[in-house]
Amino acid sequence: MKWQQGDFTVTDNREDLDIEVIHGFLCRESYWAEHIPRATVEKAITHSLCFGLYHAGKQIGFARAVSDHATFAYLADVFVLSDYRGRGLGKWLVSCILIHPELQGLRRWMLATLDAHRLYEQNGFVPLRHPEWFLEIHYPDIYCRKE
């Protein structure tokens, strides 16, 4: 699938993804995946439905949906490079993901964010209605461990 908005493009074509840009942002600029190994990023991309955001052919954003394609999806690793923020591109990227044909009819979408609640609320996300129903196992320093 491909969506166009002026000079900007969103596509789910995995061959267009620039792993250097994605890994560079996640490893050095994100708060949620600091120090993530490139091999881990590559594995996550392999097992997700991925979306690239491009300006004139250059990757400027990314997101991925982790899903069973039947009942549930988790939106992960959403970013737009800093030079392109404030233009509504993150909102547009998320909206493209939500209308993707492979992700229709799902009962639940989830995500986690520290500071972008307003972005996701514009696309219909709301705080958990029953947070007490949800549990997690979290390994915050897993990418810093030496094996």
pLDDT score, position 141: 86
pLDDT band at 10 (very low <50, low <70, confident <90, very high): very high
pTM of the model: 0.94
Taking residue 97's Cβ as centre, other Cβ atoms within 10 Å add up to: 23
Domains in the chain (CATH in brackets) are: 2-144 (3.40.630.30)
pLDDT score, position 146: 61
Which tens digits make up the pLDDT trace of 79-131? 999 999 999 999 999 999 999 999 999 999 999 999 999 999 999 999 999 99
Which tens digits make up the pLDDT trace of 12-61? 999 999 999 999 999 999 999 999 999 999 999 999 999 999 999 999 99
Averaged pLDDT of the chain: 96
Give me the DSSP letters along 7-50. TEEEE--GGG--HHHHHHHHHHT-SSSTT--HHHHHHHHHTSEE
Neighbour order of strands in the sheet with 108-110: 2-5, 8-11, 49-55, 58-67, 72-80, 108-110
| Span 73-81, average pLDDT | 98
pLDDT score, position 54: 99
